[in-house]
Structure 1
């Protein structure tokens, strides 16, 4: 179901634009030329775009201006693409639900391991 507003009481009618077909999780959807992936999916009521890296809880469109990274999806096999900034292209394949890597958590884990190694080395008794 398309939830777009085609007539606004103050702004008037939406100008007509060419439509594009793209795929989201294997299903075809229509978008207007110049529309972002997030806007097109939201017009169909799709709000969950991925899951949280650690907890697996649902994530979707939050800020819609590219600051929060909550809307990351996989586009044409490229992971981590922000849906709110990426314009739909004809035939584009978009996937969601993949638990993407959390680079900050990985960096924190590596730092902690390094500190533990250094701590063990400092505590070792020279022979």
Structure 2
């Protein structure tokens, strides 16, 4: 069942505009989008990581939100105009 149109907001994920239900977490928005559902790559082995616990315990959902890195996406509600990026290890970002 689709949420009512008036309960949708716009966010930017990986430079693409998305319409998502108001009130959900950033992690839920990413998992529910048409993009691959990973939120970060592991700093040691570079593997794609995705939200696991969805309650703030595992830290597998760290993302860059509005330019601030290391934000737990599962604990952060979406808001209109939010800019979200996957988080990559520092070495990968510098290349």
Paired residue for 1:23, among 6, 9, 12?
12
Structure 2 segments unaligned to the other structure (5+ residues): none
Q: TM-score, normalised by structure 2?
A: 0.83
Between Structure 1 and Structure 2, the one with more helix by share is 1
Corresponding residue for residue 86 of structure 1: 76
Could you tell me how far 1:15 is from its partner in structure 2?
Answer: 6.1
**Bigger radius of gyration among the two:** 1
* Deviations 1:24-64 (CA, angstroms, capped at 9, x unpaired): 11111111111111111211253111100111111011111
Q: Where in structure 2 are the equivalents of 1:16-95 lying within 5 Å? A: 16=4, 18-45=7-34, 46-95=36-85
Corresponding residue for residue 89 of structure 2: 99
Secondary structure, aligned partner of 2:31: helix
Matched residue pairs, number? 89
Could you tell me how far apart the structure 2 residues matched to 1:30 and 1:99 are?
28
Query: Residues 31 and 38 of structure 2 are in contact (CA less than 8 Å); yes or no, is this contact kept in structure 1?
Result: no
Task: Report the aligned-residue RMSD.
Answer: 1.9
Choose between structure 1 and 2 for higher RCO, CA contacts under 8 A separated by at least 6 residues.
2
Q: TM-score, normalised by structure 1?
A: 0.64
Could you tell me how far apart the structure 1 residues matched to 2:86 and 2:16 are?
12
